[in-house]
Each structure stands twice: as C-alpha cells, then as structure tokens.
Amino acid sequence: MYKSSSLFFMMMICGTMITISSSNWISMWMGLELNMMSFIPLIYNKSNKSSEACMIYFLVQSLSSGVLMFSILMSKMWNIQEITLNWLMSISLLIKMGAAPFHMWFPEMMAKMSWLNCFILMTWQKLAPLFMMSNINKDMQLLMMTTLLSVIAGVVGGLNQTSLRKLMAYSSINHLGWMLPMTLSESWINYMWIYTVINLTVCLMFSKLNIMFINQVNSLSMSMTEKLMYMINMFSLGGLPPFLGFLAKLITIYELTHRGMYMLMFIMIMMSIITLFYYMRIMTSMLLSYQSINKWITTNNKMTLPLITLLINMMTPLAYMLTFI
C-alpha cells in the first residue's frame, strides 16, 4: 500500500510539472488529467466518506476538463471571439480550483478527507490551474467578480462552521480570492509558497493533535507554549502582522495599489478582518480554559513542532525582506 501511494504521489507531481512546463493547451490539459487521476487513489482509504470524496472530485474535475477541452477545440476549429474563449477557459479553471461561485463542492470534499489530503488539495492541486490562469488574457470584469465572490464566500461560509476541515476549506477559498488578482503578473507564486508554508504548519498541528471539530480543541491538554504556537499559526493564517501571513497579503495589497484597484483592495482588507473572527473563535476557548497537566513535564517530542512553527512564522518574513535590501 505504501509503495502504491508513493507511485501515485509521484505521478501527481509529474502531472503538475507537465502542465507548468508545457507550451500548448493540449499538453497542459493532459497534465491536469494525469494529476487528477493520480490524486483520486490517494484520497481513497476503503471508507464510505472517502469513496464519496473520490466521486465528488472526479465529477467536478471531469466537468471542468470537459469545458476546458471544448474551449480549446473551439479556438482551433471555429472562428469564435477571443473574449468568449477566455471566459470559458477561465470558468473551467475556476471550477478546478474551487473558486466562488463554483466552490460548493470544495468544503464538502474537504470534510471527508484526512489532513494530509486536505493540505494537498488546498495547495498543490491549485498550482497548475493558477499557472494556466496567468497565461490567459483574462477579462478584468470576470476576474474582479470572482475575486470579490471568493473573498466574501470564504468569510460568510466560515463564520458558522464547527468542522475544522470545512473551516479550512472556506479559508482556502478566501486566500484563493487574494491570489486571483495576482495572476495578472507572476506575483501569485510568492503568495502561494507563503500560504503553503503556513498551511503545512497548521495541518501538521491538527493532524498531530487529531482534532476535526472546534469543540475538540477545548478538551486538549497542552502546555502554554503549545497554546502560543497554536495561536501564532492562526494569526499567521489570518494575515495579522508581524507574522508570515501578513507578508503574503502585503504583496497582494502592493500589486492592487500599483494597478489602481483601490475599491477591490478595501473590500478585501475588510473581509480579511472578519476572517480573524473565526480564527480567534478557535483559539479563545482553548486559551481561556484551564487544563490540569503537569507544567514541569516537557519532552523534546512535544516541543519540536512548536519550535518549527515559531521559526517559520518569525524568521521567514525577515529572510524575505532581506532579499529586497
């Protein structure tokens, strides 16, 4: 089982690499299909929920691939207006990424997977579609509408969630809204790798503690150091300065200011403030609760993840800023 998982994982990476390195749409489409067919076996683990997640992912990705292939063939065979083709291709890629208003499948699928698969879906699986989006002559009206809807859907959807996996899904939709305007240039890559680093620490933490719902956080027995690292992860994901997540959003704000999209930037910042509410809702009950554990008992195993989290969130922004000096 381990060997087969490693094989599918390598094929998934190869599919994305084929899409990124291709110079024509057909090869990019082939890379997307290889990526999809390799990720489905990684989700499946002989349970009803994983089977449902596999079916959801297959149907959604097949639909978006069909729309993408149809738009590619239309551009080769018929004299269709370029703006129509760009709209069709953009919509197919937005469906693949789970951007609003095509996002309803994304939280439902996330709720049926392990934390490792959730991390892959939120980060790596969006890399190839974002690369293709940056190569399309996008219509600004569609891009701004999708950005606004993704940011708002990520905020509204996450406000009333008790499932941490669904909450992280809506958080991912919100962050995708921050990445979409940067597909006008290559700046989305910077946001993507920062978001990947933050997501990795958060998913590792949730996986290590084996928690799936907010009410499970209250029953955890953690030291104050671990609680603080938990808080740093959430603040970083919300984009609060001086943590790593703020650096990613600062890049987007600079890009939007440079292009004169002040109203869009204002709405995105306001929505980002609201997202901090549901991140803080996860932390508040844990920080204010009292756990009867021996504070003097510490082990190296317990301290490894908190120290890695602290180093990533505090040192990475400093290293990134030093590159501009």
pLDDT digits (tens, 9 = 90+) for 127-146: 999 999 988 877 788 889 99
User: Is 247 part of a structural domain of the chain?
Assistant: yes
H or E element in which residue 205 lies: helix 188-209
User: Is 226 part of a structural domain of the chain?
Assistant: yes
- The pLDDT, as a whole number, for residue 324 is 47
- The pLDDT, as a whole number, for residue 282 is 79
- The pLDDT, as a whole number, for residue 290 is 57
- 240-267 per-position pLDDT tens digit: 887 888 888 988 998 899 888 899 999 9
The boundaries of the domain holding residue 295 are 98-322
Whole-prediction pTM: 0.88
H or E element in which residue 198 lies: helix 188-209
Is-contact 191 182, C-beta < 8 A? yes
User: Is 78 part of a structural domain of the chain?
Assistant: no
How much of the chain, in percent, has pLDDT values that exceed 90?
41
Beta carbons within 10 angstroms of residue 191's beta carbon: 23
Residue 46, phi-psi category: left (phi > 0), alpha (psi -120 to 50), beta (remainder): left
User: Is 222 part of a structural domain of the chain?
Assistant: yes
- The pLDDT, as a whole number, for residue 298 is 43
- The pLDDT, as a whole number, for residue 60 is 94
User: Is 120 part of a structural domain of the chain?
Assistant: yes
Indicate the number of domains in the chain.
1
- The pLDDT, as a whole number, for residue 156 is 92
Q: Which residues of the chain register pLDDT less than 50?
A: 1-2, 293-301, 322-325
Is-contact 109 121, C-beta < 8 A? yes
User: Is 35 part of a structural domain of the chain?
Assistant: no
- The pLDDT, as a whole number, for residue 105 is 94
What is the residue-wise DSSP string for 225-264? HHHHHHHHHHHHHHT-TTSHHHHHHHHHHHHHHHTT-HHH
User: Is 23 part of a structural domain of the chain?
Assistant: no
User: Is 108 part of a structural domain of the chain?
Assistant: yes
- The pLDDT, as a whole number, for residue 217 is 76
